[in-house]
Amino acid sequence: MPLNLSKLRSRHAAVAFFALAAFANAARLPSSARQPTSSLTFKCDLPSAIDPSIDGLPSAEEQFFSYHAMIRQVERLQAVARIPTVCFEDLRPFDEDERWKPFEEMHAVVEMTYPIIHERAVVETINRFGLVYTIHGSDSTLSPILLTAHQDVVPVEEDMSKWEHPPFEAHFDGESLWGPGVIQDKGVLTAVMSAVESLLTDYSWMPERTLLLAVGFDEECSGSHGAAEISQFLGSRYGQDGIAAILDEGGQGLQSLGDTLYALPAVYEKGYLDVWFDLDVVGGPSSNPPPYTAIGIMSELVVALEEIKFKPEVIEDGPVHRHLQCQTRYSPDADRELTELVHSHNLDGMANHLSQSHETQYLIQTSQAVNRINGIGKLNSLPGYVYLGTDFRSAPQDDVLKLQRAIVDAASKVSSKYDLQLQAFEDDKAYQKSAKNAGSSKSNPQRDLNRNGTLNLRAKHISDVTPISPTEGLVWDILAGTIRHSFSFNGTVVPVGETMLGNTDSRHYLGLSSHVYRWAPIRNGAFENFRTANERVRMTAHMEMVGFYYDLIRNLNSGKRSDAIFLTSEL
């Protein structure tokens, strides 16, 4: 039986208050990444909604908002959600590790689930498990568009008692589908592939602009084998800035505030720094311990790291500031204090206000988290080696070198107290040069055998804050206009650029386009337990995702518009 679209949308309206974005001061960004409109002229005017019906195809509502369509989509999402494509940090080469085997099954299932895509698209395998689909357009002079997703998920909670249903059973309870990755990114992968399959089912349909789908396989482990290799492949074919627009997962979805629905695509990502601390000391029997054990010393280091204070900052004309301006215009009574701060242009006051809430604090501030600690030994023996893993996501005001200096300062206090040899980022040439220029003596490469042990600091993954993608101009207007059409209701839909707290495969594609957006079009409140036990998504909300991708592909590929703003030569 048909689903009532208006009821579907109201039922899953988000109840979250709001989430905000942060971005870099224009002086810190390359000129191509600066916002062209200043805060003095930015008014948060909205582009018109864009209805793709000019192409004569069935509407998204006709295609996807029926009971039959939803059950078909449940089966498609179940097919990939049942495959344990887990990305482990210690995966060995493909032929040496059985844990890669599920990715082979994934390829077979995807091919079986989307037969028309595999019939009509050119399918290329990149670095064993990466996939690139090319649906050639009728006009080869137009730059292609790229939609991306990934196959892998994070390791699951090992305590099965915490799971109401086995993690890879892909249980459907009549409303929600359960399992790792059903939100992001197997949910996004399924929605994108389903939209394209629907379009290609009409054999008379052919895009004017080439459509690319890139599917990575190790995004949860930094994407160095998947998206990085795919990016090189696409770069060799299309060149620098050879792709018109890229849309990846991420962003902050759709959030309701009264009669306004805020759509929050991420227009940049925070920086990323993983730091590992290796402590080597003398072990021994636990019956005769020293005054301070290795685990005790490392615990003190954890406290020192968590006491590092990073300053929150709302940067003028950045996405946080602009989002606040939009909220002040369309939801002025939601937070009167914040509205007054925006009207008075009090950036410090805005930062202080937002930093008081855990929900918004790290959108304007660097975050850090201690994620792993381990000691090698038995209960009756003191470990001589303990390691610690930490994760830093840097806000634009804190570059990587600044973070590293703060980390070294904290570690040096602990190493000095316990007479440890400190070896800080010795393989990092940029840090060593910075430390040398600053006259730092906190990292001594010569091991002192008279010390009580060694504390070594090493960075595993480093990425800087990415450039901002435009929130003005043709590409943004089509993205925002499609959002305003696909999620229209009797209120106002406000698309506004946001921040990406984490990191996605998109950081590997930055050289291919200046229009890189990260957004999974899903409402807050439509999913639960993201990245933990009992992750699940409401399938009615998933259907909206499919409908959005269906509309977006059509709008980006239509060459029939007479409006000057939609001339394909401008994209």
- Coil vs helix vs strand at 39: coil
Report CA torsion sign: 480, 486, 492, 493.
negative
Structural contact between residues 46 and 482, judged by C-beta atoms closer than 8 angstroms: no
Residue 570 marked as a ligand binder: no
219 catalytic? Reply is yes
280 catalytic? Reply is no
Residue 248 marked as a ligand binder: yes
| DSSP 8-state symbol, 564 | G
Token readout for 16 is 């979250």
Please state the rounded mean pLDDT for residues 344-358.
96
Report CA torsion sign: 497, 501, 504, 508.
positive
Burial class (CB in 10 A: 0-12, 13-18, 19+), 400: buried
Residue 292 lies in a domain: yes
Q: Quick check: bond before 419 cis, omega within 30?
A: no
Which pLDDT score, from 0 to 100, does residue 471 have?
96
Question: Which of residues 447, 463, 479 is at a domain's end?
Answer: 463
Token readout for 317 is 């004309």
- Coil vs helix vs strand at 397: coil
Which residue has 């227009």 as its token pair?
A: 267
CA of residue 250 relative to chain centroid, distance: 4
**One domain for residues 441 and 540:** no
pLDDT confidence band for 39 (50 / 70 / 90)? low
> pLDDT tens for residues 233-278?
999 999 999 999 999 999 999 999 999 999 999 999 999 999 999 9
* Residue from 152, 197, 249, 551 carrying the catalytic annotation: 152
Report CA torsion sign: 234, 240, 244, 246.
positive
> pLDDT tens for residues 308-318?
999 999 999 99
Helices (H), 222-370: 227-238, 294-306, 319-330, 336-343, 347-355, 358-361
CATH number where 134 lies: 3.40.630.10
pLDDT confidence band for 17 (50 / 70 / 90)? very low
Question: Which of residues 418, 438, 463 is at a domain's end?
Answer: 463
Which residue has 């009207």 as its token pair?
A: 343
Residue 225 lies in a domain: yes
**One domain for residues 282 and 392:** yes
Amino acid at 340: E
**One domain for residues 287 and 222:** no
**One domain for residues 173 and 227:** yes
**How many other β-carbons are positioned within 10 Å of the β-carbon of residue 366?**
24
Antiparallel, parallel or unpaired: β 266-269 and 498-500: parallel
**How many other β-carbons are positioned within 10 Å of the β-carbon of residue 367?**
16
Q: Report the helix count and the strand count for the chain, using DSSP H and E.
A: 16, 21
Task: Say yes or no to pLDDT of 10 above 70.
Answer: no
Angle, CA of 427, 433 and 435, to the nearest 5°: 95
Amino acid at 541: A
Residue 38 lies in a domain: no
For residues 6 and 61, give the distance between their C-alpha atoms in angstroms, rounded to a whole number: 11
pLDDT confidence band for 40 (50 / 70 / 90)? low
Q: Quick check: bond before 185 cis, omega within 30?
A: yes
pLDDT confidence band for 23 (50 / 70 / 90)? very low
Domains in the chain, number = 2
> pLDDT tens for residues 433-460?
988 887 764 544 444 444 689 999 999 8
Residue 150 marked as a ligand binder: yes
Which pLDDT score, from 0 to 100, does residue 568 have?
39
**One domain for residues 400 and 459:** yes
CA of residue 77 relative to chain centroid, distance: 20
Structural contact between residues 363 and 320, judged by C-beta atoms closer than 8 angstroms: yes
By percentage, how much of the chain surpasses pLDDT 70? 88
Residue 337 lies in a domain: no
**One domain for residues 293 and 406:** yes
Q: Which of 290-304, 311-325, 430-444 has the lowest mean pLDDT?
A: 430-444
Which pLDDT score, from 0 to 100, does residue 79 have?
98
List C-alpha distances in Å: 415 to 407, 435, 485.
12, 17, 58
Residue 127, domain extent? 59-240+521-560
**One domain for residues 167 and 69:** yes
Task: Say yes or no to pLDDT of 562 above 70.
Answer: no
Residue 20 lies in a domain: no
Which pLDDT score, from 0 to 100, does residue 483 have?
98
CATH number where 299 lies: 3.30.70.360
Residue 516 lies in a domain: no
Which pLDDT score, from 0 to 100, does residue 436 have?
84
**One domain for residues 146 and 198:** yes
Q: Which of 3-7, 145-149, 180-184, 531-535 has the lowest mean pLDDT?
A: 3-7
For residues 478 and 555, give the distance between their C-alpha atoms in angstroms, rounded to a whole number: 7
Structural contact between residues 194 and 129, judged by C-beta atoms closer than 8 angstroms: no
- Coil vs helix vs strand at 485: helix
* Residue from 219, 229, 313, 498 carrying the catalytic annotation: 219
Residue 164 lies in a domain: yes
Q: Of 133, 282, 298, 256, nearest to 524 (Cα)?
A: 256
**One domain for residues 130 and 279:** no
Question: Which of residues 438, 463, 488 is at a domain's end?
Answer: 463
Q: Of 532, 567, 519, nearest to 153 (Cα)?
A: 532
For all residues of the chain together, what is the average pLDDT? 89
Provide the whole-model pTM: 0.88
For residues 207 and 279, give the distance between their C-alpha atoms in angstroms, rounded to a whole number: 57
Q: Of 244, 215, 220, nearest to 231 (Cα)?
A: 215
**One domain for residues 295 and 182:** no
Amino acid at 113: T
**How many other β-carbons are positioned within 10 Å of the β-carbon of residue 174?**
6
**One domain for residues 200 and 298:** no
For residues 13 and 15, give the distance between their C-alpha atoms in angstroms, rounded to a whole number: 7
Residue 553 lies in a domain: yes
**One domain for residues 173 and 300:** no
> pLDDT tens for residues 356-383?
999 899 999 999 999 999 987 788 889 9
